[in-house]
Amino acid sequence: MQPRIQSVKLLYTLNSRIFNKIKPQTLIQINHNHSLIPNQNPDETSIMNSKAIEIQNLLNKINEKQSLNEIEHSLTGLKPSLNEDFMLTVLRRNRSDWKQAYVFFKWVVNASGYSPGTGSYNEMLDILGLMKRFEEAYQVLDEMSKRDKNLINERTYGVMVNRLAAAHKIEEATEFFYKRREFGLELDLIAFQTLLLSLCRYKHVEAAEFLFHTKKEFRHNIKTMNIILNGWCVLGNLRETKRFWNDIITSECKPDRFTYGIFINSLTKSGKISTAVKLFQAMWEKGCTPDVTICNNIIDGLCFKKRIPQALEIFKEMNDRDCSPDVATYNSLIKHLCKIQRMGKVHELFNEMKQKGGDCLPNARTYGYLLNSAKKPDEVVKILESMEESGCKMMADTYNLMLRLYMGWGDEEKVRSTWTEMERNGLGPDQRSYTVMVHGLFDKGRLEEALSYYNEMVSKGMISEPRTKILVEAINIKLKDRDHKSVA
């Protein structure tokens, strides 16, 4: 079994369509927009960003053992013009360090004279939940409730159940659904689907199905059943996926296009690509037209099995049958063509994406695949220039990929400039950034520097990966041995 599509990506590509009638604020927002705030002119945005950077630099001193009173006094001295746009800008710039974000937020609430709106509260909850700081998150939630229960909305609920599910706090996530009435929210179908979606996203599918059977009033709904089916699919359990597929077939609900798409995806994930292609072709024959998501699934599955010529045939078939490809279609092909170094075809598809524009316009993932195929720094510069020309925003993952490349090439100047630019743009450094530095420096024998980055990461409350902890243990042993030898 070779699961290739990450659970978060799959749940959003399929279930964003499943929930096409759900109010936008109900769905859980993963990717935060770091672009300019709408309805602001460039001068206002520039001033706001400058002040936000000033505050971020001040908050960085928290880890330099300055007291909170000193930090808060300095914040007051800056006299920032507080509003929701500015609050969100500062909080998002400090997402990778919950302590800094929380100190700023508490100063605003307690000492600034400004009362944050729902958006700022929700952003703070999301940051705390991301770092599993639920004690602080519940304090923020209590503050919202005491101040005005109307501050708690569907987005608040979505953030909390999503982060609780991510932390494997299944009971607390479920209890939060039933607490909705305390906050003036209804126990409706959409909220129940949001809970199931969150549980399935983080592999708690068995718990989600148990709840599904418990809430009988919400059972006879194909969208709800699709969430559970997709959960088993993403978990990579074909046996359970088939079982629940049969449950749908024998239920009062009629399978829709998404139900078929999920099952096809389960087959491709389980390596049964030939069976998936047959079902895919049968859909065309039966007049049940596959959408672009299903086509992308088949193309990705074929590419994974190194059946790229057949994938390119289906790509051509999409155009012939008026099923327009999108950026994900091109990305699947480019990803696998890069792996086998068919760069001529890669550039052909890349140019085609730019010419088509719209839904086919290259995104950060496209440029990530191109960057990952770069052989020297000059190629990175050209790719980044193309990225800037297309208006594609830099992402944290892009910076982390650049760090890994420059570390591998031993280009220390580029490593430093990338790190500085990442900080300046409020896109890190995050846990992945530090991991790249620790492992890269270790590989080059620079043990003290590697340990310094690790300690800085831990001081910011970031949890290292197990492999990084093992590597740090090895560093400490080597440093001790070296010290003993030098003393001897």
Q: pLDDT tens across 222-272, in order?
A: 999 999 999 999 898 999 999 999 999 899 888 888 988 999 989 998 899
Per-residue confidence (pLDDT) for residue 76, from 0 to 100: 85
52-76: average pLDDT: 80
287-315: average pLDDT: 92
Cα 82 to Cα 55, 120, 186, 291, distances in angstroms: 12, 11, 33, 45
- The structural domains of the chain, with segments of one domain joined by +, span 26-152, 421-488
Cis peptide before 362 (omega within 30 of 0): no
% of the chain residues with pLDDT over 90 = 68
Are 400 and 96 in contact by the 8 Å Cβ rule? The answer is: no
Are 266 and 238 in contact by the 8 Å Cβ rule? The answer is: yes
Per-residue confidence (pLDDT) for residue 75, from 0 to 100: 87
Choice among 22-36, 241-255, 300-314, 349-363 with the minimum mean pLDDT: 22-36
Per-residue confidence (pLDDT) for residue 15, from 0 to 100: 45
Are 40 and 48 in contact by the 8 Å Cβ rule? The answer is: yes
The answer, as to whether pTM is greater than 0.85, is no
Per-residue confidence (pLDDT) for residue 41, from 0 to 100: 58
Per-residue confidence (pLDDT) for residue 9, from 0 to 100: 40
For residue 3, pLDDT beyond 50: no
Burial of 219 from C-beta contacts in 10 A (0-12 / 13-18 / 19+): middle
SS3 label, residue 249: helix
Burial of 187 from C-beta contacts in 10 A (0-12 / 13-18 / 19+): middle
Are 264 and 280 in contact by the 8 Å Cβ rule? The answer is: yes
For residue 33, pLDDT beyond 60: no
